[in-house]
Chains A and B, each alone.
Chain A
């Protein structure tokens, strides 16, 4: 049953050093506030998982939270590189980062496998692609019915998944809409799931077939208005494309990055009591 609590309390209780942690949200509903709280609480040695690492993982990697990264596309969308991610991979700063690199189709299927309690994902993929030569977790099996060669990759089973959504009700049922990405699968694949929401309301007002995560399937729900900014929450606020562009200049240099993180993350207490 989801406990309705503060983000600070939810992260303190559910995110531990060394955990496998997935923060999901495909451009939309990226749980920035939760990532910042993990940085403030000084978590270390996390095995981070995320299809599109984006600025939030650039920040977590640059602040030294991660020992490894499972991902499928590590860039600043429409802008260019994630400089902190690149610095970790190319120069081992602030420390080396092991990478488990897949394709989007692979990771989406691997979350489905995790949520389905299967050991691996099965997909037609990777023919002619060099990734299987460097990632030994990508394997091939023969279909027992047709003899076709298919790719098999390990299911993703995070210790904790964190997502952001538009609304929860007072029983912790969560509603999200718009680009829903892989959040439902990531939440259900995890041992524990934290959801931050724009607001907690009396009635979700969800249509049948809406994307609703029942409160009993979640660990914690926290009201964090604007918790996805500078990504966006459809119906609440738009993506700050200007900030995504600005980040390129902030993150390019180690000292500028550290100064920005101190001022804008470390010295900011969680706004919501």
Chain B
């Protein structure tokens, strides 16, 4: 048991961090993925190679970056390369083990929308757009997605596919010519989804302690599939929670206000 109280965000971050093995080469998105990737580095994966799309390779920030290109990422990196180089040689070149992404919206096949809500030509909400995500989703050997679960985010049908997951399921990702396994886990503040081995539909394999299936169903815009064996997500250890707390505190003090986490 955990003696330290933890929040829904904590267990999401800690569970995502656990997916990253030591010495993996991990291409990291900003925000929640960056928090989880650095938590992994500060706990069980000290030799993980973190890459940010600003061109920083093997970076070890002592505080979390607010932007993808904070100076902290460059100062603590093994090397810093140009934007064309990071996308051409390192990402398209096939050297990334895990792409770690966030999302605004996701569907049952783990396709991601970060472009628009509503129609593209006259959007209800204009989101930032693609950035590096479509190519991370295409070229990393596998993708881990971290996203807070709600009906607004987990939708029956995406308004726009920015980054391909398993497309229409089955072997459609492979048929589209996409390399890599695609999304292998979607980690939320309620549970963990993994794609079904055949249909590739997201299937709940692990539920966080104290969460009811009704809560998961209520926060998902499609009828949720549960695996035959659903486990309870292990609670975060006190040591890990302490490392996470310290990291977030250092970050808040460095950026001059509370973090967005």
Contacts and interface: CB of A to CB of B under 8 A. Distances in A.
A111 B65 CA distance: 27
Contacts, number: 179
A75 to B, nearest CB: 3
Given A179-B55, A181-B82, A125 B128 contact: no
A184 interface: yes
Contacts of B260: 78-79
A77 B115 contact: no
Contact of B92 (A102, A105, A148): A105
A104 B53 contact: yes
Interface in B144-166: 160-164
B209 interface: no
Contacts of B68: 26-27, 77
Given A105-B91, A129-B134, A129-B162, A244 B67 contact: yes
B167 A124 contact: no
B255 A242 contact: yes
B247 to A, nearest CB: 15
B161 A184 contact: no
Interface stretch (A41-49, A84-92, A196-204): A84-92
Contact of A109 (B87, B123, B256): B87
Nearest to B84: A108
B129 A124 contact: no
17 contacts: A27-B67, A28-B69, A28-B71, A73-B129, A78-B30, A85-B126, A89-B126, A104-B83, A104-B131, A108-B84, A108-B87, A125-B134, A129-B134, A180-B82, A181-B82, A241-B70, A245-B257
A103 B131 contact: yes
Q: How large is the interface on A (under 10, 10 to 19, 20 to 34, 35 or more residues)?
A: 35 or more
Contact of B83 (A51, A82, A125, A239): A51
Contact of B256 (A27, A131, A241): A241
A74 to B, nearest CB: 5
A57 interface: no
Interface stretch (B9-17, B172-180, B197-205, B237-245): B172-180
Interface in B194-252: none
Interface string A4-39: 000000000000000000000011100000000000
A208 interface: no
A242 B256 contact: yes
A185 interface: yes
A239 B67 contact: yes
A28 to B, nearest CB: 5
Contact of B80 (A71, A109, A180, A241): A180
A131 B71 CA distance: 31
Contacts of A72: 129-131
Contacts of B120: 130, 134
Nearest to A25: B69
Nearest to A87: B126
B164 A128 contact: yes
A141 interface: no
Contacts of A108: 83-84, 87-88
A103 B88 contact: no
A127 B54 CA distance: 23
Contact of B160 (A28, A109, A128, A130): A130
Contact of B129 (A74, A111, A181, A239): A74
Nearest to A244: B66
Given A72-B130, A108-B83, A123 B54 contact: no
Contacts of B65: 78
A134 B121 contact: yes
Given A90-B126, A103-B132, A149 B83 contact: no
A128 B183 CA distance: 14
Interface in B33-92: 53-56, 65-71, 73-75, 80, 82-84, 87-88, 91-92
B128 A74 contact: yes
A104 B80 contact: no
B128 A73 contact: yes
A185 B121 CA distance: 31
Contact of A105 (B70, B87, B122): B87
Contact of A241 (B54, B66, B133): B66
